[in-house]
């Protein structure tokens, strides 16, 4: 088994990889002669970077995810007041930055309705990029990951351009292509306030020569309409995200009755395959759980998607017990680490093409064990 460095800034990942034109799961389908003969590998997607080890959506988090084996790094994108894209899980930044400690921004605290939900806090669309750059990131889950709080206040909010630059710089350092996997957050909402995301995303991708089918990019959104718009603008590989309950907000506003669960069925996949390359499904749509929370057998989703030429990536794999199936937890501490290696291996054995992981090192090891038949 290959060994890799696990400290950010130390040691390159073994082997050079160039992601293939269609960004299929054989991550080594092109590149060196040695790489061409490696087995097909599901993708490891650094969810918000290495968010189990560093505050999410920071350059430090993305850089560490690459060192820990991620094939892609995943920035969630929201706009600033002056139309710049930044990486934040939500446009409300009270829980992921130190904005609440900045008296000069106290008056910016407000209440808004985002996708039908009332939210109070500070919002990126009310700040210029220059103002956001004065803030610093903090750990979003301090009670779950107290070790990450030692990094509070150290890192800036990165722009989408800075994430792309980092992927390229780190790719050269470690000798393999690093893909980016951006998500458009709340596109219907942002369109309603005059900050449509799709043209902003397309502009950055075109500026970086990442606007075609060969680009090491997956675009993602919980709103199919956003992916349709992006396909028309840049034709970059993409997935539609599927949650277990509810429906896409663009469907709700347009009167379309279909739910995310409907889109995971054959008729829904037939609809999606016309404008996307795959689905990013919540784990329970891939392998269901019983009422107690134990894993059951795989659902037909992977088989049905593959039959239509669609990839299936799943979210989110986390090490802590509280995020694991009941039968894979270890002990009673919800924040202790359970048997996530077995969880990832079970999903890969079901045919999954990629995993969104907060701990890229864990997903990388699980993938190696899976491919080795161990």
Ranges of beta strands (E only) in the chain are 17-18, 30-31, 43-47, 72-74, 76-79, 85-87, 110-114, 117-121, 179-180, 183-184, 219-221, 238-242, 278-282, 287-289, 295-298, 311-317, 354-357
Backbone phi, then psi, for 329, in 5-degree steps? -80, 155
CATH code of 17-89+159-371, in short, is 3.20.20.190
pLDDT in tens, the chain (374 residues): 333 333 233 233 333 333 433 333 333 333 333 333 334 699 999 999 999 999 999 999 999 999 999 999 999 999 999 999 999 999 999 999 999 999 999 999 999 999 999 999 999 999 999 999 999 999 999 999 999 999 999 999 999 999 999 999 999 999 999 999 999 999 999 999 999 999 999 999 999 999 999 999 999 999 999 999 999 999 999 999 999 999 999 999 999 999 999 999 999 999 999 999 999 999 999 999 999 999 999 999 999 999 999 999 999 999 999 999 999 999 999 999 999 999 999 999 999 999 999 999 999 999 999 999 88
pTM of the full predicted structure? 0.90
Class of residue 160 by CB neighbours under 10 A (exposed 0-12, middle 13-18, buried 19+):
buried
CA distances from 332 to 23, 32, 181, 192 (A): 40, 47, 34, 45
Class of residue 253 by CB neighbours under 10 A (exposed 0-12, middle 13-18, buried 19+):
middle
DSSP class of residue 99? G
The C-alpha atoms of residue 79 and residue 189 are separated, in whole angstroms, by 11
Nearest to 41 by CA among 96, 2, 10: 2
């Amino acid at each position: 088994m290959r060994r890799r460095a696990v400290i950010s800034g130390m040691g390159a990942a073994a082997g050079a990889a160039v992601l293939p034109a269609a960004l299929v799961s054989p991550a080594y389908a092109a590149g060196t002669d040695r790489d061409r003969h490696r087995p097909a590998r599901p993708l490891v997607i650094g969810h918000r970077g290495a968010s189990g080890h560093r505050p999410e959506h920071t350059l430090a988090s993305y850089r560490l995810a690459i060192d820990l084996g991620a094939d892609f790094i995943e920035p969630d994108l929201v706009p600033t007041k002056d139309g710049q894209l930044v990486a934040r899980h939500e446009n409300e930044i009270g829980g992921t930055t130190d904005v609440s400690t900045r008296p000069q921004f106290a008056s910016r605290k407000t209440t808004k309705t985002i996708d039908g939900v009332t939210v109070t806090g500070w919002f990126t669309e009310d700040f210029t990029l220059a103002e956001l750059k004065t803030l610093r990131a903090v750990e979003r889950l301090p009670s779950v990951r107290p070790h990450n709080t030692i990094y509070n206040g150290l890192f800036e909010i990165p722009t989408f351009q800075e994430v792309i630059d980092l992927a390229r710089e780190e790719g050269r350092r470690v000798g393999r292509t690093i893909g980016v996997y951006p998500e458009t957050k709340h596109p219907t909402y942002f369109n309603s306030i005059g900050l449509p995301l799709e043209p902003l995303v397309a502009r950055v991708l075109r500026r970086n020569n990442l606007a075609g089918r060969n680009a090491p990019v997956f675009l993602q959104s919980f709103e199919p309409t956003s992916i349709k718009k992006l396909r028309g603008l840049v034709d970059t590989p993409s997935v539609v995200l599927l949650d277990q309950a509810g429906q896409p907000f663009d469907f709700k506003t347009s009167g379309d009755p279909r739910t995310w669960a409907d889109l995971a069925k054959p008729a829904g996949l037939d609809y999606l395959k016309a404008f996307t390359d795959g689905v990013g499904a919540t784990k329970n749509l891939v392998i269901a759980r019983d009422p107690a929370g134990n894993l059951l057998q795989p659902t037909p989703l992977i088989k049905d998607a593959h039959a239509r030429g669609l990839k299936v990536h799943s979210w989110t794999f986390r090490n802590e017990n509280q995020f694991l199936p009941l039968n894979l937890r270890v002990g009673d501490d919800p924040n202790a680490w359970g048997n996530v290696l077995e969880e990832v291996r079970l999903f890969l054995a079901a045919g999954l093409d990629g995993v969104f992981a907060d701990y890229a090192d864990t997903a990388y090891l699980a993938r190696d064990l899976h491919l080795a038949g161990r």
